[in-house]
Chains A and B, each alone.
Chain A
Amino acid sequence: MKKNDDIDRRKFIKLGLCSSAGLLLGSLYAFSDKPVNSEFKSYKDLYKYNWGYIVDTTRCIGCGACVRACSVENEVPDSYFRTWVERYEINSKEEVRVDSPNGAMQSFKENNFKDEIVKAFFVPKICNHCRNSACTQVCPVGASYHTPDGVVLIDKEHCIGCGYCVQACPYGCRYIDHKKGTADKCTLCYHRIHKGELPACVNACPRNARIFGNLKDPKSNINKILHQRRYGILKPDLGTNPKCFYLGLDLEVK
């Protein structure tokens, strides 16, 4: 009996070692690097930029061209949005109604109030690409990160889809893509801006209500506007330090 026991233990250890070695090798293979085709950008290349974004709420007409362009560009699943347009309406009794039917994908149909509207405006929303973002801090696997040029991105190969970041974002700019099983969000069209194009939403805007540019370049259009106009940010009290600036922001907008 005793002898048999000994053999079993030795076998067990052997088996255990073999299987763990196999697992190690397997995982090494699974996570091995894959070739990247495009011109490789170095850290220094990207450090020249610090992308910023301005939304001019006084010019927005709520046509939803940005929402449609974004969903085509980035294959955003139905009923999720990386950018959307909200409408604020205030009537003479100081009642406020906010709506965004299907993210303004089909624009807006009718006024919400039948009686007199004293004030109404559109506010396009987009990921704020905060300097101190809450979403990157909570990621347990390091799949959500800041690039050197100040864009918050998701490493979709390593995201486990836990959804912590979706809950952490105070602006509701993230969602879980159930097809891919990962979190997803606005990337400021990272593939476009490094090919010299504007983000899809900026490119599609017919009223120049969205302005995009490099904050590190003192001569850029975005810096010029930030010096000329009065701007605000969303939820400044949270200390997220967003890089998306709003011109003509109302107190009602949160």
Chain B
Amino acid sequence: MKDKLHIIIVFSIIVVLIIFAFIIDGILQPKSFNEHGHYRWDAVNESIDHSVVNQNINTCSECHQEIYQLHQKDAHYNVPCVDCHSAGNLHVSFHRKDANSKNISKKQAELKKEFNFEGCLYCHRKLAARPSDFPQVDQKEHYKFLHITDTATKCIECHSPHEPIFLLTDSRKSRLHPMVYKCTDCHKTKPKKSFYDVADHPKIFECKDCHPDVVKDFESKPHFNYVECRTCHLFHKENENMGRMYKNGNAKFCLLCHESKPFKDPKYPPKVEWPSHIKGLKNIDKKDTKICLDCHSKQIHTMELKLRGNPHPGNWRTEHKKFAKTEILSKGKISCMNCHTKETCFNCHKLEMPHSETFLENHKETIDKKGKKLCLSCHSQRFCNDCH
């Protein structure tokens, strides 16, 4: 019996200790622990409670709208501002004058703007591991190729980071390359060898496959062996399934190689002083971007400069409408004749523009006389189908 008491005492002590341990555990456990699992629930909300450092491109565009538009048009449109200009949280809060702005000096709020080679070469240095369709530069070869004598010349002397290849949205939108979707787009008969993955295909196409005349002509011209088709025409892959070709006749583009600058070899390739080179020449619209090709197109290859004479480049229909409305409304009259002469439209369309008031009544006669095709050059088939 004496032993029984001992056992009861020992066990009751153990039970009391266990209860005590549970109570202490309960007291010492941090608040909200085990609420939704074996962790402190409040820690989740504490993790959210940090401020954002790297700024979004949309935040930048709120103030820098102009430069944003420029940037969106060119090949760097996918490169966010933070990659070159650093995080920018101090810059934003300083200029927005929010609660934190008092602790920020003007110098801290400045963005990174100086760029040496490394800044550009982070992305564009030639490496075997980079995808071959990505533009890469071997600095030595590039300078040798362009006859640049001063090797300390920075990339930004020629390339503006916001518009590195001087593209205009219009030309990008309008000059779509006929895209290759299926094997039968190129192969008339069934190919001998088939590829499971399109990426294994040795080459999708070469320029001369579809443009043999242009390439042959180009080979007899001074640019041959110095530049390739891809120097001026860029095959641009936006995603796996789509390719796009754009062309550049911008004067700035030609001047990349041909403008004389102190760091370049003065003799080769032929240099011109700009803009004094065209100062003496008349009949040149200074706003025109394709000035060089007017005179020098024959030195490159035969090209139809249709776009130059084309009054409707790019998405003219929507943009010119907008432009015309704002211009015209300010003058109070609605007419093409505010800017154009009567012949401007008539020369090509052989029709009065906008159509005369009697046109609707007599349009059957007009169509009989001039053909239905004339309508379709401006209006879609649906336009006619809506009534007929």
Contacts and interface: CB of A to CB of B under 8 A. Distances in A.
B129 A88 contact: yes
B48 A190 contact: yes
Interface stretch (A167-175, A204-212, A236-244): A204-212
Interface stretch (B10-18, B77-85, B267-275, B341-349): B77-85
Contact of B83 (A117, A120, A191, A206): A206
Contact of A36 (B33, B42, B134): B42
Interface in A134-155: 142-148, 153, 155
Interface string B38-82: 111111111111111110100000000000000000001011101
Contact of A107 (B40, B78, B121): B121
A148 B45 CA distance: 12
Contact of B78 (A117, A121, A144, A206): A206
B49 A191 contact: yes
A155 B31 CA distance: 13
A62 B129 CA distance: 8
Interface string A102-129: 0000111111010001001110000000
B125 A38 contact: no
B51 A73 contact: no
Contact of A155 (B24, B40, B56): B40
B195 interface: no
A204 B85 CA distance: 11
Interface in B181-239: none
Given A64-B122, A200-B53, A206-B80, A142 B27 contact: no
A11 B47 CA distance: 48
B187 to A, nearest CB: 25
A33 B28 contact: no
Interface residues of B, number: 46
A28 interface: yes
Interface string A178-195: 000000000100111011
Contacts of B123: 61, 63, 65, 107, 206
B36 interface: yes
A69 B55 CA distance: 10
B364 interface: no
A191 to B, nearest CB: 4
B127 A37 contact: no
A158 B39 CA distance: 10
A23 to B, nearest CB: 10
A73 B89 CA distance: 10
Given A33-B42, A194-B48, A73 B53 contact: yes
A147 B45 CA distance: 10
B322 interface: no
A204 B113 CA distance: 17
B30 interface: yes
Most chain A beta-carbon neighbours within 10 Å: one of B44, B52, B78:
B44
Q: Which 4 A-B pairs have the closest CB atoms?
A: A145-B39, A191-B50, A120-B129, A155-B43
Interface of B: 24, 27-28, 30-33, 36-54, 56, 76, 78-80, 82-83, 86-87, 118, 121-123, 125, 127-131, 134
30 contacts: A28-B28, A31-B30, A33-B30, A33-B32, A33-B42, A38-B48, A40-B45, A58-B131, A61-B123, A61-B130, A61-B131, A69-B54, A69-B87, A72-B86, A73-B54, A107-B121, A107-B125, A110-B127, A111-B127, A111-B128, A145-B37, A145-B39, A146-B37, A153-B47, A158-B40, A190-B47, A191-B48, A191-B49, A197-B56, A204-B80
Interface of A: 24, 27-28, 31-33, 36-38, 40-41, 43, 46, 58-59, 61-65, 69, 72-73, 87-89, 106-111, 113, 117, 120-122, 142-148, 153, 155-158, 187, 190-192, 194-195, 197-198, 200, 203-208
Given A33-B32, A113-B128, A197-B52, 5 more contacts: A46-B44, A61-B131, A106-B122, A156-B43, A191-B49
